[in-house]
Structure 1
């Protein structure tokens, strides 16, 4: 085993502590990555604070990882020392089931191994995976993506989750030139949805509780920004959209959102609220509308997203912070006080 400097959450309500964690030795199919930047995803916060089930502490979260390859195993063919790479939400799957073979490793029939808080038999019985708020990580080469030149590692880190989480459903539901897309929420996910949908050629409208970020929306590629509290404006949008991408992890009026869709339109949910969704059956049956969900993306899809972003000059809009600022940053993310993703400079861990 090797060790690396890392940030650890000792409990759900405690401040992050700086220390060391164990990584497995580099195996024949493994890649050792020197992490440069790690994004803070809202799901990190839900997990650390015990809002999504049982957690084993101390825990190093982080699944938006960007860095450089510093060593490879003897059988590695996909990556070499010095390559710019990223790691997202998964670090292992069976590779043999139908879903894995179809490029949907996140739905592995035997269960994907997620980047943190998952059982980690490769590091020993009872061990759990530890994530990217650290200076190094060892990952099977199959779960390491190439970050193309032209995207800075700092703005690439959030693409490993926020990027693919929005790219995958937009691609799946055929967004392209001539499409009309509404993005609900202008946060870490929403701002990426706006950038990607606009780059795909869609006409994009942001739906948000306020007009505070209207200028940002337009700068990122949206043609309009509408307050969901403005009843007249929302009424005028009825029947306007082919796709609505709901990025909000809150209990919303899905029936009202469905009314904004054209016939055959789709409402895709990527946010995960605590309570069940509710809407009348007539809201979908009447005009053959669809309510869908989407969770991250497979490894091939993640690479396609990175290549797409490089082609179109897209990176996340970020604020880089130091290791000492992470605890405070969690509270700011919950309060919506970030534009639009905090990214940790991992070189500051232990300094």
Structure 2
């Protein structure tokens, strides 16, 4: 099946209109007409091959919301007309220990990413959501229960939402817990909203004083300007959990010092250059943890979507047409969006 898409043919060329092939609906497949696709910083890194290993043509996009148009004979969970989502994964081995535990993101044989991952489908690697349609194994399709008018703003939940929900859930954020969020961007703004809805006391850390009110509006109880030593010191030894969303190299000791005994600093961003080595002594003397977390499994992603629907949580977005994607990438690099771009996939219909 031929589908309109937007992709790059090399790392030094802008994205452009292309036509791609999608497989016909197999027995366990769900075919989806894409309505919206969020724009993740990972899209930019991959298109420009900044992480290496990009296979071209590259069609990014792993924050997908759309409508089911066809289902295979063995599909039991979805029907034509359902509103569904697809996140960062479209397959995994489904038989290793991690997959058995509903933690497909840690698949011991490697999960199949929604784009730029090996696949039997043409052209030999997965092509993502900057396209008009996609066909996905039922197991990796998610139910969307938000109201129709919220669907565009739901799209970023499929990456930014689950990436922050998973560690908050795993480290038991909730009433009586003090949770810090470092960085108020695409991930950070979701972490604030979700932690607040879980009932935690939420403190937002920002290097930009102008974002103080933004953080409060998102649900933070208070804010700290991380460049102000006195503001930081006032919170020493008081946090149960700190979610660090910053993808640039920075001093982790400043945040480890803020943790209680048995507190955890959880890293979500992968920096271009390694963080300075932390002071192990401050970890040993408080039994503190620096940990990492990667998106979430399919069951947990569904749990997150249901939680967000129940609490009225969506991402703060700016809608764009696909023809504006390179401009959007430039603004994203300059932190010029609050807080997530979402592509109106109908704009692909206007491409040649």
The question of a shared fold, defined as TM-score above 0.5 by the shorter chain, is answered with yes
Give matches, 1:56-205, under 5 Å.
56-121=55-120, 123-124=121-122, 127-150=124-147, 152-205=150-203
The answer to whether the 8 Å contact 1:321/1:342 transfers is: yes
Task: Give the Å deviation of 1:5.
Answer: 0.7
Q: CA deviation at 1:272?
A: 0.7
What is the TM-score when the length of structure 1 is the normalising length?
0.97
Equivalent position of 2:258 in the other structure: 260
Which deviates the most, 110-119 or 191-200?
110-119
Match of 1:331 in 2: 330
1:162-201 Cα distance to aligned partner (Å, 9 max, x none): 0000000000001001111110000000000000000000
Which range moves more in the overlay, 148-157 or 59-68? 148-157
Residues 258-310 of structure 1 deviation map (CA, whole Å, 9 limit, x = unaligned) = 00111110000001102223201112101110110000000000000000001
Deviation at 1:350, TM superposition (A): 3.8
CA RMSD in angstroms, aligned pairs only? 1.0
How many residue pairs get matched? 348
Match of 1:340 in 2: 339
Q: Which moves more between the two structures, 200-209 or 271-280?
A: 271-280
Matched residues in 2 for 1:102 and 1:82: separation? 30
For the residues of structure 1 that align with 2:77 and 2:12, how far apart are their CA atoms? Answer: 40
TM-score normalised according to structure 2 size: 0.97
1:9 Cα deviation from its structure 2 partner: 1.4
Cα deviation 1:85-126 (Å, max 9, x = unaligned) = 0000000111111111100111112211110000111x15x6
1:36 CA displacement: 0.5
- Equivalent-residue separation in structure 2 for 1:113 and 1:330 (angstroms): 25
Structure 2: stretches of 5+ with no match in the other structure: none
Match for residue 45 of structure 2?
46
Q: What per-residue deviation string (whole Å, max 9, x for no partner) do you get for residues 62-94 of structure 1?
A: 000001101101110011111110000000111
| Secondary structure of 2:134 counterpart | strand
CA distance in structure 1 between the partners assigned to 2:244 and 2:2 by the alignment: 40
Where does structure 1 lack aligned partners over 5 or more consecutive residues? none
